[in-house]
Amino acid sequence: MADRVAIDVKPLSAALAADVVIPVGTDAAPPEAAATGIGPVAVAALARAAAVEKFKGKYRKTVSAVVPGDGPVERVVGIGLTAGDGDKADWPAVGGTIFAALAKGRPASILLPGVDADAAADIALGLRLRAYAFDAYKTRPDDEDKGAPLRVTLHVDEPSAVKKALKHRDGLAEGVCLARDLVNEPPNVLFPKEFARRAESLSRLGVEVEVLDGKALAKIGMRALLGVGQGSAHDSRVVVMRWNGGKADDKPLAFIGKGVTFDTGGISIKPAAGMEDMKGDMAGAACVVGLMHALAARKAKANVIGVIGLVENMPDGAAQRPGDIVTSLSGQTIEIINTDAEGRLVLADVLWYVQDKYKPAFMVNLATLTGAILVALGKEHAGLFSNDDDLAGRLFKAGEETGETVWRLPLGKAYDKMIDSKFADMKNTGGRFAGSITAAQFLQRFVNGVPWAHLDIAGTGMDSAASDINRSWASGWGVRLLDRVVAQLERGGR
């Protein structure tokens, strides 16, 4: 989708738009630099509005006033920027709050005296993410002004430093919005071949993209993945995306996404109610594509591989059956108990392929894998499972920093035994209890000891809870989280 916000950066002294946003303190008064910029009439109008509305300048709360007279400032918005004691400022959320307070279609200036470059750039990121909307298929869009982006100018102490910081956030915003677009697309448009075609567009940023079709996958031996898609009219795909921004001898970081472009459940068909949401069962793959865009756009100094398994799970006469036994790429055999436990079959072959061919430093996979994770964690956290404490710690820390939070759940031999099969090496579901954990135990059998983490994003990747930076059904969850993990490693692990 096209950007709905065009952001410029200028010094505090530059001419202002007619609509101005200014920070205010707990006394609802703006700092001197902002007050001088908008003039006494605007300050007085804001003070009166604050008194009438009993506005106290609380963090991320806003108050607005129309400025009387015929001066250059016509409308002023005050926003509280002082976080509570012990709280960390969430600057993207501040940007989202500001966007919500802006008048539709009117250019605005945001005065940010004393706000450092990274914080200002994060405000810009929040503006862009909150502005996102998916209405490509509406003949009468909700936003009548969608043809022209809203023009917003950040007025800051050091414009050059903010512009530099924005280069990273620009690619990050594009990556998140790309992931959202993919998840929001209807399944008759975004089937495996089309998804792969869109991933190929990353080549214009310098990403090396290889697409493996059904014949290639059969030759390689990805029978677990192919079994999921054998009932569909659409051929399955695996897409390998490589960004080589690090040293030649650096091991790559590997990110792997489940991409079930539509999931009926197969022969173990899902109930009709809510099945339309299963177009989002590829949110893990969408995140990986968005992440690769973000890393390439900012020229990340790291070697990164993104691999996505793309299938459609349909129930025709050729579909996989409960009771079938398939041999995975690893050589391990899998008894199919439930064809709706399909995502782990896709990931099993892709995880084995990645660890065997690319010898990564670690692997992180993302998947809308289990409804059980929603029961456990709701839509607030993604489930985290890992065989490596250091990797789990990095993900948890990045989650705290970005707001894309994760919560670690256990793995263990007792859970592993629940997926042992009488007829094969394992079965593809361990039953109702501990469903998210047994799914993770299944995946762990295909990582071959490589440091690995599994993120179950069934609660965060689609049908998302509304937030200050997202009003879309698709959140693009995970792009900012994993970009932060890579950035930490680029900085030497900090």
Residue 179 near residue 195 (C-beta atoms within 8 A): no
DSSP 191-250: -HHHHHHHHHGGGGGT-EEEEE-HHHHHHHT-HHHHHHHTTSSSPPEEEEEEEE-S-TTS
DSSP 101-146: HSPTT--EEEE-TT--HHHHHHHHHHHHHHH----TT-SS-S-TTT
> In angstroms, rounded to a whole number, what is the distance separating the alpha carbons of residues 280 and 196?
16
Q: 138: which residues sit within 8 A by CB, 6+ positions away?
A: none
**Catalytic residue (one of 193, 270, 301, 408):** 270
Helix or strand holding residue 362 (H, E): strand 362-367
**Catalytic residue (one of 344, 394, 445, 480):** 344
Burial class (CB in 10 A: 0-12, 13-18, 19+), 308: buried
Length of the chain: 494
Q: Is 128 a catalytic residue?
A: no
> In angstroms, rounded to a whole number, what is the distance separating the alpha carbons of residues 395 and 405?
9
Closest CA to 448 of 348, 369, 365, 366: 348
Strand 333-335 versus strand 426-427 pairing type: parallel
> In angstroms, rounded to a whole number, what is the distance separating the alpha carbons of residues 225 and 342?
8
Burial class (CB in 10 A: 0-12, 13-18, 19+), 204: exposed
Q: Which residues of 41-66 are buried (b: 16+ CB within 10 A; e: fewer)?
A: ebbebbbebbeeeebebebbbbbbbe
Radius of gyration in angstroms for the set of CA atoms belonging to the chain, rounded to a whole number: 24
Numbers of helices and strands, H then E, in the chain: 15, 17
Residue 420 near residue 442 (C-beta atoms within 8 A): no
Backbone angles phi, psi at 466, to 5 degrees: -65, 145
Residue 110 near residue 151 (C-beta atoms within 8 A): no
Q: Is 219 a catalytic residue?
A: no
Largest CA distance in the chain: 83
Q: Which residues, listed in sequence order, are joined to residue 22 by a DSSP beta bridge?
A: 78
Residues identified as active-site: 270, 344
